[in-house]
Amino acid sequence: MSAPRWSVEGRDWPNRAASRFVESGRIRWHVQQMGAGPVVLLLHGTGAATHSWRGLMPLLAERFTVVAPDLPGHGFTTGRPSGGLAMPAMARAVGNLLGTLGVAPDLVVGHSAGAAIGVRMVLDGLVRPRGVVGLNPALMPFPGLAAQLFPTLARMLFVNPFAPHIVAAMVRGPGDASAYVKRATGSRIDSAGVDFYRRLFATSDHVAGAITMMAAWDLDPFARDVPRLRVPTLLVHGAADTAIPLSSVKAAGALIPGSRTEVMPGLGHLAHEERPADVAALIQGFAGRVQ
């Protein structure tokens, strides 16, 4: 297996000056922190890392203290929480990290599966934010046939020891990575952003982390808990998202009392990378309403 190296894959990592490595429990976390003011926790999605916030994080740091970790199994964070990469275990691990850092988020912002982890943290009493923002959130079970095929495929890949190496080899070229990102997300991001994904997916440890997380993901019981969420919630969705349909986001919104859904035309699953200023404005406006 090969792991992302801070001196190689991370040599010019976005917002590198804000990075540090923190030991918490069984995990050595890569964490970025910048800004001053109320605390905003950023949680990236499956297969991503802190580079996903490269444009959004500095904008939010103009008004907030922004904390963004690489989740276990992803990026430059190493080690596994007790319970593996299942959602509850990930939520507890992030909660422990916040305790080690001595911060309590006023706002939790999660992208895709990161939104589910953030909601799980609130439901389990690990954080008590004033509000939650889900960016292209993965809060509902996969629709239709995908509900059976996707978890099964992830588990098949998980038990194949060669799978991470095969996937890593598929996206080593810039053209391969660009096509993969566009096909998988519906987003058109800049070449630098594509290259950060290429670097990570060219390392089998990062690929294995993403596959393991997908294999352990069970959204059915989570969806049953979502109606218990009792904090103001904003769901932001890119209309061109090829990973999560708008119907899924609207279904989640219907379960969360008082939630609001904002649709961004023309943007895909990585809307916050395509138009960070627009997403920052939505988050800042929401934060102003829940203070």
Tell me: the pLDDT tens digits for 266-277? Answer: 999 999 999 999
Q: What is the pLDDT of residue 187?
A: 92
pLDDT average, residue stretch 248-252: 94
- Report in angstroms the alpha-carbon separations of 47 from 105, 213, 273: 24, 9, 14
Q: pLDDT for 61-117, tens place per residue? A: 999 999 999 999 999 999 999 988 899 999 999 999 999 999 999 999 999 999 999
Q: Which residues pair with 269 in a beta bridge?
A: none
Q: What is the pLDDT of residue 143?
A: 54
- Concatenate the DSSP letters of all residues of 139-164 into one string: -SPPPTTHHHHHHHHHHHHHH-TTHH
The residue type found at 276 is P
Q: What is the pLDDT of residue 120?
A: 97
Q: How far apart are CA 198 and CA 171, in angstroms?
A: 6
Q: pLDDT for 196-245, tens place per residue? A: 998 998 888 998 888 888 878 888 889 899 999 999 999 999 999 988 89
Q: What is the pLDDT of residue 181?
A: 77
pLDDT average, residue stretch 254-282: 97
Which of 154 and 32 is assigned the larger pLDDT?
Answer: 32
The residue type found at 226 is V
Q: How far apart are CA 290 and CA 283, in angstroms?
A: 11
What CATH class has 16-143+219-290?
alpha beta
Q: How far apart are CA 226 and CA 115, in angstroms?
A: 12
Q: Where are the domains of the chain?
A: 16-143+219-290
Confidence of residue 175 (pLDDT cuts 50, 70, 90): low
Q: pLDDT for 40-75, tens place per residue? A: 999 999 889 999 999 999 999 999 999 999 999 999
Q: Is pLDDT at 147 greater than 80 in this prediction?
A: no
Other beta carbons within 10 angstroms of residue 79's beta carbon come to 14
- SS3 at position 108: strand
pLDDT average, residue stretch 8-24: 97
Q: What is the pLDDT of residue 141?
A: 81
